[in-house]
Amino acid sequence: MAKAMFGAGCFWGVEETFRAVPGVTDVAVGYSGGRTDHPTYEQVCSGTTGHAEVVEVDYDPTTVDYETLLDVFFDCHDATQVNRQGPDVGTQYRSAVFFRDDEQAEAARAAKQRRIAHGTPIATEITPAAPFWRAEDYHQQYIAKRRGRPVASGILGSLFR
């Protein structure tokens, strides 16, 4: 098994997206890239901790490779935005790849460069993985638990009602 970590805005929809990828064995939502140990959702939302909302993806590299996960990451959010995804604004919603080793760093930089080469300005940070702080239980599989009920206003709310 291997792990990957991505920040792509609100973690609820990103988690759903990665759970659907064959070869992904688990996805947890949480926080990373900040200055506070064990941050809470409220602290992260305040924008004062420096954390991003992230997903930690467990995957079987014999079934799905890291490059495919990078494609899913870039396709599931607007990587051209700085600190914003749809109606969500703040550093906690930044686009980021948190790499765990030199291979992941190289693959992430190459994936970003391919998009830039096609004329797309990419704002995604590519940075060493920081500690992953698992979000509160009510955030885990939030959309799946609420399927059929309103989730949020805006884009996510209309997609998952």
Domains in the chain, start-ordered, CATH in brackets? 2-159 (3.30.1060.10)
List active site positions.
10
The mean per-residue pLDDT over the stretch 80-108 comes to 96
Residue 158: per-residue pLDDT? 37
153 versus 139: the higher-pLDDT residue is 139
Residue 147: per-residue pLDDT? 76
Q: Residue 74: is it exposed, middle or buried by C-beta count within 10 angstroms (0-12/13-18/19+)?
A: buried
Closest CA to 33 of 12, 18, 11: 11
Rg of the chain (C-alpha set) = 15
Strand 52-59 with 24-32, pairing: antiparallel
Contacts of 118 (CB under 8 A, 6+ apart): none
pLDDT > 70? residue 129 = yes
68 versus 149: the higher-pLDDT residue is 68
Confidence band (pLDDT; 50, 70, 90) for 22?
Answer: very high
pLDDT tens per residue across span 38-91: 999 999 999 999 999 999 999 999 999 999 999 999 999 999 999 999 999 999
pTM: 0.89
Residue 146: per-residue pLDDT? 83
d(CA 66, CA 6): 12
The mean per-residue pLDDT over the stretch 97-101 comes to 98
Could you tell me the CA-to-CA distances from 12 to 24, 121, 128, 144 in Å, in that order? Answer: 16, 25, 23, 9
Q: Coil, helix or strand for 139?
A: helix
Residue 39: per-residue pLDDT? 98
Please tell me the total number of residues recorded for the chain in this structure. 161
Residue 148: per-residue pLDDT? 64
Could you tell me the CA-to-CA distances from 53 to 34, 78, 120 in Å, in that order? Answer: 10, 15, 24
